[in-house]
Chains A and B, each alone.
Chain A
Amino acid sequence: MTERLVVVGAGMASGRMLEHVFEASPGAFEVTLFNAEPRGNYNRLMLSPVLSGEKTYAQIVTHDEAWYRAQGVTCRFGERVLSIDTDAKTVTGERGSLPYDKLVIATGSDPFMIPLPGRDLQGVIAYRDLEDTERMIALGARPGARAVVIGGGLLGLEAAAGMQARGVEVTVVHLMGHLMERQLDPSAGYLLQKALEARGIRVLCKAVSQEIVGEDGHVTALRLEDGTDLLCDLLVMAVGIRPATALARAAGLAVNRGVVVDDRMATSAADVFALGECVEHEGALFGLVAPLYDQAKVLADTLAGRPAAFVNREVATKLKVTGCDLFSAGDFAEAPGREDIVFRDPGRGIYKRLVLDGDRLVGAVLYGDTADGAWFHGLIKDRTDVSAMRDTLIFGPAFQGGAPADPLAAVAALPPEAEICGCNGVCKGRIVQAIEGGATTVDLIRATTKASASCGTCTGLVEQVMALTLGDGFTANANPPMCRCTEHTHEDVRRLIKSMGLKSIPAVMQELGWTTAGGCASCRPALNYYLLADWPDDYRDDRQSRFVNERNHANIQKDGTYSVVPRMWGGVTTPAELRAIADAADRYNVPMVKVTGGQRIDLLGVRKEDLPSIWSDLNAAGMVSGAAYAKGLRTVKTCVGSEFCRFGTQDSTGLGIRLEKLLWGSWTPAKVKLGVSGCPRNCAEATCKDVGVVCVESGYQIGVAGAAGMDVKETELLLTVPTEAEAMEVIAAFIQLYRENARYLHRIHKWVAKVGLDWCRDQVADPANRRALYERFLHSQTVYQADPWAELARRPQDWAPIADLTLRAAE
C-alpha cells in the first residue's frame, strides 16, 4: 500500500532524504514536495561559487524536473505551506489543502535580520537563496557599485569575496574583535583579515551598526555608532540564522529553539518528522550540511520502518573563498586542563593550532596550510589517543610514517570549481563533465571546453584530471616532471600555485606532495621564483633558495672570487662614475677590468669578504648593482640615436635609459637583455636580444624572442607602435606575461616557441589586457625594484669567515 508522504521544504536536507527514501522503500510513498522558493532542490552551498562567477545556477541544481517525474514526485514549488493540522493529518498550502500519512518538515532556517532602523529599505537583503545571489550579481554589473556586508562569518565573507570578484567595492562590518570568531581564534582571524584586505575588501572589526540610511526608499549607507557613514548600494546582512519554526509552532509541535526531534527524527506529533536546520536535537542546532545528510539517512530508515538513530558528530568548517585556506574543527576554547600546540610562520602566513584535552585532540584551527585538516578532523571524531605522536602531531600525517603521497592526490583533491585553465576560465568540474561526455583526448577536451586551448600551460593538469577520471584508460604525453622531488611538471606547479593559492615553498611541497623534505637545488630556485612572481605582496624572497650568484648578488668565478658590475643606464656613464670605478679597482686590487658585451664595466676577481666594501664605495658614487648575475633584467644596450647620429630617427639612448629605469630590479624566469637601435642599421644589435626595439621614422618596432647565445636567432616582430610611451608599456606588459607564464630557466625565445608569438601578441595588443599586465608589473616593481648592495653591505661580517681557527691556534 502506498502512503502519502508530504514534505515541506525542498532544501538540501529533504533532497538527500528523498534520494534515500526512494532507494530504501521504492514505491512505498507517493510524495508531494512543497517549496516556498519557486524552484526545486539545489546545492545551496554552491551559491557562493555562483556569486563569484565560478559556477552557474544550472550547474548547482541537484534534482531536476526529470528526476521528480521519474520518482513520481508532485512538485508544488513556489507555494508556501501555511498550516498543519496534526489531528486531521492535513497540510494547507497557498493553493489548497492535502491529507498526509507521513509528514516531513524541512523548512531550514531564516536569516536573522538585526532590527536596525531602516532595515525595510530596498537594497537590504540577506544571503540565503538564489534571489539574494542574483541581487548581488546584478550589483557587480554596475560600474563603481558599493556594498556593505554586516557579519564577518562564513556567509558574510563568502558574500563579500563573491561581490568583490565581480568588481564591487565591499566593506565588511563585524561586531566582534576578529573574523569568524566562532570557528577561528584571534590569530587565524587576523591572518584571514589580512588576506581579504590584500584582495581589496575593507574589513572593520568591533564595528557597531546603528542605522541604515536611505533615500527614496532605497538604502544609501550604513551608519556606525561612531557616526561613520559607509556608503552603499546594497546592504547584505549575514549575522546568523534562526531555525524556521513558525509553521511547526503554530501546529502545536514541541518547539524549543528548533523543532524538537528525537534520535529517529520524529517530532512530538504522531507521523510528523523533521530534519535539517529547522530542528533541535538534544539541545543542538545545525548550520552545516554534514550532519543534515546523516539526519536524511536516519529519517529515510525511520520512514521505512527500520531502526536508526541520529548521532550528532563533529563538523569541520572550510571557507569557500578561493585563495583563503582555512580550516577549523572541534572545540578550541580555552579551558582548564587543555593544552595548545601552536605552529606559526608569520612570514608565510601559516598558523596552526591544536587543542589537546589530556590524550585527545579536541580542536584544530589551520590557516594558510590546510592540507592536514581532514586528518586532524579524523583524530578529533575518533577520539584517538594521540599521546604517542604528540611531539610531531602538528606536522601532520606525513611525519607519522603513513602511506607515501600519491602524485595525483593534489589534483584529485581539487574541488570541482577549482580553475584549471586560467586563460579560458575552465574549472575542473567542467573538464570532468567533458571527459564523461566522451572527450577522451586532450584535443577533444580543447575542442569541447577550450581548456588548454590558449597558452597551453595547463595541459599537464588537464591530463591529470583525465588520468583521474579515466583511470587506466588514459596514457599521458611524456612531459617530464619538474625534478625528482615531484611528479608535477613545471607548468602544473605554476598553475597549481595560482589555483590553490599556494604562497610558500613549504605549502607547495606540502600540498603538491613533494617526496623530499626540503626539495633540491633544482626545484627550490624555481619555486622561489614562481612564488615571488605570482604573489609579490604575500611572498618574501627566500635567499637560501637561490643559486650562489643571486644569493650573493655577484657572479662566482672558477677560483671562488666574484665579479662586480655596476649598472650603467643604457650603457651611458660619466667621468665621475668612471673615476669611482677606477678607484675601487685600485683599492681592492681587482685583477681584471673588462668592458662587457652589454655595455657595462666588469670588475673581475673580487674576494668575497671585500664585496660589502666595494659595493659601499660604488653606492657612494651613486651606482647600484648591475644585476649581471640575475635571472632578471640585465642590460639595455643602446646606440647613440638621434642625439648624435645623423641616421637616427628617434632618441634610442633616452628610450634605453627609460626602459632600464622602468625594468631594473625585476626577477624573470631567466635573464632578459634588451637593445634599442636608433634606425634599421641596428648598431645596438637589437635584433638578437630577448626584446629589441628598432626605431623608425613612424615609431618603434618591437621585436622579441631573439637569441645570441648557444642558439642564435633573430627577433620576431611583436608590434609596431607610434609613441615611446606605448613602446614602454608594451615591453613591460610583455615581460610581465613572460614572468607570469614561462617555465623557470626558459629564455624568452624558448617560451615564445612554446606558446606561440600569436598568443603573446593577442595578450599585449588588447589594450585592457596590456594595461592590466603593465599594472601588475608596476605593482611587483614596488616590491622588487630595490638595490641589493646597500642592504647587503650593511652586515659586512656575514661575508667573512665566521671564525678563523688559524689565528686561534697561533695564540
Chain B
Amino acid sequence: MTAMIDIAALDDIPRQGARVVKTPLGCVALFRTATDEVFAMEDRCPHKAGPLSEGIVHGSQVTCPLHGWVFDLATGRAQGADSGAVRTFAARTEGGRVFLDATLLAARSAA
C-alpha cells in the first residue's frame, strides 16, 4: 500500500473545484467533485501547460481553462478527440481530511 500524507481538510477544497499543492515534482492539483471524491493530478495541461486546477470540474472530469481539453480525473487521460495524459497521484479522504500519495514527498528526500 502506498503511504499517504495528510494534506488538508476536505472543506478547504471547494466542491467542483481544486486547490494546488506545491511538491518537489511541481504543482499538483487536488480536485474535489460534487460527490466529494478527491483526485490528484499534475497541474499542467500537456497541450499548452494550462493550470488544470483552474478548470471547470464536471462529473469526474476537468476542462482545461486555456483551450478546453477535457481530462478524466481518475486516469488523467485526455477525452474525446484529444490525445495525451496527465500524471495522476493517489488521493483519498478519511474523516474529513484529504490524504495524498507520500511518494510526492519522497521524490525530493530521496534525491
Contacts and interface: CB of A to CB of B under 8 A. Distances in A.
Do A and B make up one complex? yes
Interface of A: 516-521, 524-525, 543-548, 551-552, 556, 558, 560, 801-810
Given A544-B14, A544-B16, A544-B17, A521 B55 contact: yes
A806 B23 contact: yes
Contacts of B7: 802-803
A548 B20 contact: no
A802 B13 contact: yes
Contacts of A808: 5, 105
Contacts of A803: 7-8, 21-22
Contact of B21 (A547, A558, A802): A802
Given A525-B56, A556-B51, 14 more contacts: A516-B58, A519-B58, A520-B70, A543-B14, A544-B14, A547-B65, A548-B65, A556-B65, A801-B20, A801-B22, A802-B7, A805-B22, A805-B104, A809-B108
A518 B8 contact: no
B56 A801 contact: no
B27 interface: yes
B65 A806 contact: no
30 contacts: A516-B59, A517-B59, A518-B16, A518-B59, A520-B56, A520-B58, A520-B70, A524-B56, A543-B14, A544-B14, A544-B15, A544-B16, A544-B56, A545-B16, A547-B56, A558-B66, A801-B21, A802-B8, A802-B12, A802-B19, A802-B20, A802-B30, A803-B8, A804-B21, A805-B22, A805-B105, A805-B108, A806-B22, A806-B24, A809-B109
B4 to A, nearest CB: 13
A802 to B, nearest CB: 4
Contacts of A519: 58
Nearest to A525: B56
B12 to A, nearest CB: 6
Contact of A551 (B21, B54, B58, B63): B54
B56 to A, nearest CB: 4
Contacts of B24: 805-806, 809
Q: How large is the interface on B (under 10, 10 to 19, 20 to 34, 35 or more residues)?
A: 35 or more
Nearest to B54: A548
Contacts of A545: 16, 56
Contacts of B63: 520-521
Nearest to B26: A806
A524 B55 CA distance: 12
A657 B63 CA distance: 38
A521 B21 contact: no
A247 to B, nearest CB: 60
B57 A518 contact: yes
Contacts of B108: 805-806, 809-810
Contacts of A524: 56, 58
Nearest to B20: A801
Contacts of B8: 802-803
Contacts of B104: 805
B78 to A, nearest CB: 14
Nearest to B56: A521
A545 B57 CA distance: 8
Contacts of B20: 801-802
- The list of the 8 closest CB pairs from A to B, nearest first, reads A521-B63, A802-B19, A544-B16, A518-B58, A548-B65, A521-B56, A809-B108, A548-B54
A524 B16 CA distance: 11
B106 to A, nearest CB: 8
Contacts of B23: 805-806
B84 interface: no
A543 B57 CA distance: 11
Contacts of A516: 58-59
A517 B14 CA distance: 18
Interface in B57-111: 57-59, 61, 63, 65-66, 68, 70, 104-105, 108-109
A519 B105 CA distance: 35
Nearest to B19: A802
B44 to A, nearest CB: 10
A525 B55 CA distance: 12
A547 B17 CA distance: 11
Contacts of A806: 22-24, 108
Nearest to A543: B14
Interface in B20-43: 20-24, 27, 30, 33-34
Contact of B57 (A544, A804, A805, A810): A544
Contacts of A558: 48, 66
Nearest to A809: B108
A545 B23 CA distance: 28
A560 B45 CA distance: 12
B7 to A, nearest CB: 5
Q: Which of A520, A556, A805 has the most CB of B within 10 A?
A: A805
A555 to B, nearest CB: 11
A59 B46 CA distance: 62
Contacts of B27: 801
Nearest to B12: A802
A598 to B, nearest CB: 23
A520 B12 CA distance: 23
Contacts of B16: 518, 544-545
Nearest to B102: A805
B19 A801 contact: yes
Contacts of A551: 54
Contacts of A552: 54
A556 B48 CA distance: 14
Contacts of A525: 56
Contacts of A518: 16, 33-34, 57-59
B20 to A, nearest CB: 5
A518 to B, nearest CB: 4
